[in-house]
């Protein structure tokens, strides 16, 4: 069994509102690319992949409205 060790991490977050928005945008783009790649690797028909992608988009849009 592998031993789990903690690693100290120092995070330097953006100080300005503009930089925070830019970071949020970059993270959103990274997340979207990850989701698309995951869907692309599924072993199901393309139609099903498109339906899943649309479902993800619909959920995201609903969360933005809240």
Please count the other Cβ atoms lying within 10 Å of the Cβ belonging to residue 36: 13
DSSP letter for 41, please: T
Smallest Cα–Cα separation from 33: which of 56, 63, 62? 56
Express each pLDDT in 44-60 by its tens digit: 999 999 999 999 999 98
The Cα–Cα gap between 42 and 4 comes to 31
The percent of residues in the chain predicted with pLDDT above 90, rounded, is 82
The Cα–Cα gap between 11 and 46 comes to 40
Which residues of 1-66 form beta strands (DSSP E)?
A: none
**pLDDT above 80 for 1:** no
Domain edges within the chain:
20-65
Read off the pTM: 0.68
């Amino acid at each position: 069994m592998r031993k789990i060790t903690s690693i100290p991490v120092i995070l330097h977050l953006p100080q300005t509102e503009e930089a925070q928005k830019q970071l949020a945008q970059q993270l959103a783009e990274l997340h979207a690319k990850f989701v698309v790649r995951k869907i692309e690797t599924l072993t199901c028909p393309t139609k099903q992949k498109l339906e899943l992608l649309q479902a993800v988009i619909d959920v995201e849009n609903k969360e933005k409205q809240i």
